[in-house]
Amino acid sequence: MKVTIDGHTIDVEPGTTILNAARMIGGEIVPPAMCYYSKLKDSGGKCRTCLVEVTKGSEKDPRPMPKLVASCRTTVMDGMEVKNITSERVLEARKGVVEFLLINHPLDCPICDQAGECHLQDLAYEHGTAKTRYEEERRTFDQIDIGDKIKLHMTRCIMCFRCVFTADQITDKRVHGVLYRGDAAEIGTYIEKAIDNDFSGNMIDVCPVGALTDKTFRFKSRVWFVKPMNASRDCDKCCGKAVVWMYGNEIYRVTARKDKYDEVVDFICNTCRFDKKQVSDWNIEGPAEINRHSVISANKYKKGIKVTAPKVLGYGNNVD
């Protein structure tokens, strides 16, 4: 099926969404996605940052679609023509969505653990305006511990539902969902129940903002001071392929590996994530490539640098 996005034409399988077709084309025409997550079934459609304009429905039915559509949940038709960054309407709507996501967000990046790897930060930087028009009181929630390893800070949540789908789909006992309604809605485990599951830690990785953070890492370091290294270990629960974030020769935190859209490649278990913090636990392969442009990728690592494990141990404050 042929689809044209901002003038770039590509042939894709039936059933491909506009967003995924755009990702195949790549570059700046890829709509930003704050809630869609290719690994999580049924995700997407909620944040509305990926809205695009369909100027031609298909070869068969060339009528344009009257409303902007969520590219992450709209499948392409043969001959469809889509406008993303070439549509004033889209850019205007997107600016609105970014503003909506920010009005109740605390904007306390300087003290937020996610800063530097936060998608909302990137999104606001690229699509937002520098000034806020919001003069009302911002919504706040109390912080909650989901078990002893995960911190939930709802005040920062953007309701992407990714963690809910994670809890639903990769963990086997669902105790995690959404309570209440509208702007009072919150992610919760009901009566602050710990999520007692080997894969629960992945909800930290899927969270685009600083709402779910790793308590074993919180406030230890800014992410741009720690170095992401691909590492693996023999694990009987998960693939054992992870990224260890090192400061000197200490492992500060462990996360799953991510692709260039910052989506987890393989989910990892809680043992790897929370309990394996010794260099000796891991076979360190070399620097992790961070493809997306963010503060972390601005740090010292470039692709192609060869490092061997022993040398890694010497890494720390000043690497280039």
Partner 1 sequence: MGKKLLLEHENVPGIDTYEVYRSKGGYCAAEKALRKMSPDQIVEEVKVSGLRGRGGAGFPTGMKWSFLAKPEGKPRYLVVNADESEPGTFKDRYLMEKIPHILVEGILISSFALGANTSYIYIRGEYKWLVDVMEKAIAEAKNAGWLGKNILGTGYHLEIYVHYGAGAYICGEETALLESLEGKRGNPRIKPPFPAVAGLYGCPTVVNNVESIAAVVPIINMGGAEYAKIGIGKSTGTKLISACGHINKPGVYEIEMNISVEEFINSDEYCGGIRKGHRLKALVPGGSSVPILPYELIYKTAKGETRMMTYESLADGGFATGSMLGSGGFIVYDETACIVRNTWSFARFYHHESCGQCSPCREGTGWMEKVLHRIEHGHGRMHDIDLLVDVAKKIEGNTICPLGDAAAWPVASAIRHFREEFEYHVKYPEKVKNSIYAHEKDYKAVMV
For partner 1, the binding residues (CB under 8 A) are 44-49, 51, 67-68, 70, 73, 92-93, 96-97, 99-101, 103-104, 133-134, 136-137, 139, 158-159, 161, 177-178, 180-185
> Which one of ligand FES, partner 1, none is in contact with 172 (Cβ closer than 5 to 8 A by kind)?
none
Q: Does 49 bind ligand FES (CB under 6 A)?
A: yes
Nearer to ligand FES, 35 or 244 (CB): 35
Q: Does 34 bind ligand FES (CB under 6 A)?
A: yes
Stretch that binds ligand FES, among 31-39, 98-106, 109-117, 180-188 (CB under 6 A): 31-39
Cα–Cα distance, 186 to 64 (Å, whole number) = 37
Binder of ligand FES out of 2, 8, 48, 139 (CB under 6 A):
48
**In the bound complex, what is the minimum distance in angstroms from residue 177's beta carbon to ligand FES?**
19
Question: Which one-letter amino acid corresponds to residue 102?
Answer: L
Residue partners of 121: CB distance under 8 A and separation at least 6 = 109, 114, 115
Using a CB cutoff of 8 Å and minimum separation of 24, what contacts does 316-320 make? Answer: 316/247, 316/248, 316/249, 317/248, 319/227
Closest by Cα among 231, 238, 234 to 268: 238
Binder of ligand FES out of 12, 47, 52, 268 (CB under 6 A):
47
Q: Does 161 bind ligand FES (CB under 6 A)?
A: no
Burial of residue 107, with CB atoms counted within 10 A of its CB: 0-12 exposed, 13-18 middle, 19 or more buried: middle
| CB of 167 closer than 8 Å to CB of 177 | yes
Question: Which one-letter amino acid corresponds to residue 202?
Answer: N
> Which one of ligand FES, partner 1, none is in contact with 215 (Cβ closer than 5 to 8 A by kind)?
none
**Of 69-128, which residues contact ligand FES (CB under 6 A)?**
70, 72
DSSP 3-state of 98: helix
**In the bound complex, what is the minimum distance in angstroms from residue 20's beta carbon to ligand FES?**
11
